[in-house]
Copies of this chain bind each other. A is one copy, B any other.
């Protein structure tokens, strides 16, 4: 039937949005075809037409939650930064603010994370997504460590092999800083300051670069 595709796409998105609302309010365990149909104001059959069965609703919602929590967003003004240290700092700030600003995304991320403990398919998707998030930080971390290694070292340098910087290690730490910030901010918004957290992290990164210069 010509002209039908677009409305079906909209319908699918409406149902997914309803699934998000149900899970955000009552948890992923409450995500049933019946509850989602009720929330989207469509029939049981319409939900099944788009999502086949409950498992597929859960998997599709997981995809949107991971897209919101483990996909690096590069704002336009950060796109223009070419110095690696500045770029990493700006990315961290943007991601800390973004993940901490919508508790519903982050809460669903951790709920899926916990479900992954007993569900291998969910665990695989969550761990792949975290891996991809680290990889997204890795490029700028690589540029940063390359720049630091290029700094000429005076004699008496105390470069410690054990603590040599690696792009992978720095990317792992970047992910810890973003997710650790969201973990604390979302459960405890009154006692935790995202701004102060960013300030300390930025100072450590500045030190990372300044440390290389000082050695």
A114 close to chain B: CB less than 8 A: yes
Query: Bound complex: CA of A116 vs CA of B27, how far in Å?
Result: 11
* Structural contact, A163 and B131, CB atoms closer than 8 A: no
Interface pick from A46-54, A60-68, A195-203: A195-203
Question: Nearest 5 pairs between A and B by C-beta?
Answer: A176-B180, A207-B211, A207-B207, A169-B200, A127-B188
Interface residues on A, range: 35 or more
Q: In whole Å, how far is A38's beta carbon from the nearest beta carbon of chain B?
A: 19
CB-defined contacts of A179 to chain B, threshold 8 Å: 176, 179-180, 183-184
Interface pick from A11-19, A71-79, A105-113: A105-113
* Structural contact, B173 and A201, CB atoms closer than 8 A: yes
Query: Bound complex: CA of A166 vs CA of B214, how far in Å?
Result: 22
Chain A positions within 8 Å of B, measured between CB atoms, are 25-27, 29, 103, 107, 110-111, 113-114, 116-118, 123, 126-127, 130-131, 134, 162-166, 168-170, 172-173, 175-181, 183-184, 187-188, 191-193, 196-197, 199-215
| Most chain B CB within a 10 A radius of its CB, from A127, A178, A207 | A207
* Structural contact, A196 and B111, CB atoms closer than 8 A: no
* Structural contact, A172 and B187, CB atoms closer than 8 A: no
Given contacts A27-B118, A170-B200, A179-B183, contact A131 B207 (CB under 8 A): no
Q: In whole Å, how far is A108's beta carbon from the nearest beta carbon of chain B?
A: 9
